Structure 1
Amino acid sequence: METIKTAPNELTINTRLLSLMKTYPEEDCGEAISRQLTIFIEDMGFNNWIVAPASDYIRGLHDSRFDGFLIRQPILEAILYPTKQNSLALAHIAGEVKATSHIPAGGISQCAYYGTALVYARNQALSYLGRSDPINQTSAITFFTNGERLHIYAHYVTKSRRGTTQHIQHQLASIYMLHSHQEFILGYLALRNAQDYVKERAIEPKEEPIQHWIKELGVEPPIVSDAESSQGKGQEEPECI
């Protein structure tokens, strides 16, 4: 609590906030900091005339899980930045961190943008499998904090009365973490519980694209050897933790 209270700027808050997040190394999950997502083509509705989303924090599955699988062709948006090594796939949580003096409104709007992008990417992956998430079921989580307050949002798709698709941002929690130690623990647990929920949602379909590919083509995807993987990783500095 004190480490966040005494943080002098956004970067310090972000660094200290990361110590509160779960890592899930056994699930082959990874995270990226301030990485712009350039995979989305322009004017898709949610990103008209807006620069590509670049959240302060984002977590997904390591794309190495899909080595040898042509996921970049049929499901372009499933890989967050496919031209880079150590990318993330099926991202499920993103966050925006501001300085303590920052007014929350801007961060909340950015969360809406990030959440919509993550839901869209997930829906593209599910569409390839011939299915979709149930209406009104959370597909992604975003959070905003200025070091004092923590806002957590669920993002999902619903249908309007006219039958059109709508992306919804629903506030799950708004906690003044520096009010007391109890409130800080409440925010800490709320953030980690949200991580747990959407992590399971991301892991659920991760094997399906590969199995779908095998079924469609009748062949197993090629296996990338450890030697090839290590050689490739030595060519460029990893961008994910």
Structure 2
Amino acid sequence: MDNKQTSPQAKLPPTQEEQLDSDDDAKPLAKRARPTSEPARLTRQNLARFNKMGKKKTSDPSDDSDRPNPSRRHRLSVYEDYVHTVGDAPNKATIIYEMLPLLKKYPKGYKWALSQAFAAFPMDVGFNNGLSAPQPDYVEGLGMEEYRPLPVDKHIHGAVLYKDNPRSVTLPHLAGEWKGPGGDIREATLQSGYNGAALVYVSNQALAFQGKADGPSYANITTFTTDGSEVHFYAHYATPAEEDGTPEYHQFPIKSTSLGDSGTPRTTPENSRTL
């Protein structure tokens, strides 16, 4: 009888990969997780485990990422109320009242005025000879006191719009015209062109005072026309006429936006106008 005994062979501990891949669902995830200092290998089992974790997360009833946002519902409600009110507005004043909150608010120093004639604007500058003073439904710009200590009314011709008013809107950059139910938006466009020409004249006077020359592509005046449902924006600038060099005032459409549907902007450059 062979009394020779064989020594038991030492068994090597399983590798970490083998340990992770065996009885994959039997142990809690916390016990099977690898140390954060050594990332898990890209194995089929690890990918399957990651996929399970993702499914658990998306099915979590406490996850409300796909639920309607309360603030979004509020904005939609406000929008629907606006469309209904403007559609049933009895007059222009009601439309203006509903639209004013939509205009951007600026810091202290900016002013706006409604339906106030440019009583201090010079009435003999070419484009307005024999016409009444511009009187846009809305105008916006800095107040005269913001230019102190410069006496802007004495140095820049037409800069101050209202006579004997130390708080007058001065060197405005934006004007608007509204039309009420049944109003002709084309008439508002003509009025907007006249308002824009007046603001361009004042702007060019300010540039001349600073020693800066205006150029054909320089436009820093904007006007808008609206009936409460659609808003049309225009850029205004002046170029010298080829015949005698006198200023020609241009009104160029830059964007039209509907407030009654998706609000998709539409450009209409074919409707540009020259005064």
Q: TM-score, normalised by structure 1?
A: 0.70
Q: Is the 8 A contact 1:100 1:148 kept in 2?
A: no
Alignment of 1:21-170 (within 5 A): 21-25=103-107, 28-162=109-243, 163-170=245-252
The amino acid of 1:70's aligned partner reads P
Shift of 1:129: 1.3
> In 2, distance between residues paired with 1:16 and 1:102?
17
Shift of 1:118: 0.2
Q: Is the 8 A contact 1:23 1:30 kept in 2?
A: no
Shift of 1:76: 3.3
Number of residue equivalences:
183
Q: Is the 8 A contact 1:101 1:146 kept in 2?
A: no
Deviations 1:112-155 (Å, cap 9, x if unpaired)? 00000000011111111111333222121111111232211100
Q: State which drifts further: 108-117 or 142-151.
A: 142-151
Q: State which drifts further: 98-107 or 62-71.
A: 62-71
Q: State which drifts further: 94-103 or 77-86.
A: 77-86
Shift of 1:158: 2.1
The verdict on how the C-alpha distance between 1:100 and 1:174 changes in structure 2, with shifts beyond 3 A counting, is farther
Match of 1:204 in 2: none
Q: Is the 8 A contact 1:158 1:165 kept in 2?
A: yes
> In 2, distance between residues paired with 1:40 and 1:62?
16
The amino acid of 2:249's aligned partner reads H
Tell me the C-alpha RMSD between the 2 structures.
1.9
Deviations 1:75-133 (Å, cap 9, x if unpaired)? 13111114113211110000011103111111000000000000001111111111133
Shift of 1:55: 0.5
Match of 1:218 in 2: none
Shift of 1:20: 0.5
More helix by share: 1
Give the SS at the match of 1:113. Answer: helix
Q: Which runs of 5+ in 1 are unaligned?
A: 191-241
The verdict on how the C-alpha distance between 1:164 and 1:77 changes in structure 2, with shifts beyond 3 A counting, is closer
Match of 1:8 in 2: 90
> In 2, distance between residues paired with 1:176 and 1:129?
39
The amino acid of 2:242's aligned partner reads R
The verdict on how the C-alpha distance between 1:22 and 1:139 changes in structure 2, with shifts beyond 3 A counting, is same
Pick 1 or 2: higher relative contact order, CA cutoff 8 A, min separation 6.
1
Q: Does 1:173 find its partner at 2:259?
A: no
Q: Which runs of 5+ in 2 are unaligned?
A: 1-81, 268-275
Identity of aligned residues (%): 34
Q: TM-score, normalised by structure 2?
A: 0.62
Q: Is the 8 A contact 2:138 2:176 kept in 1?
A: yes
Q: Is the 8 A contact 1:158 1:166 kept in 2?
A: yes
> In 2, distance between residues paired with 1:132 and 1:79?
21
Deviations 1:38-84 (Å, cap 9, x if unpaired)? 12222321111111011010000121112332211121311111411
> In 2, distance between residues paired with 1:4 and 1:86?
32
Q: State which drifts further: 107-116 or 163-172.
A: 163-172
Alignment of 1:187-206 (within 5 A): none
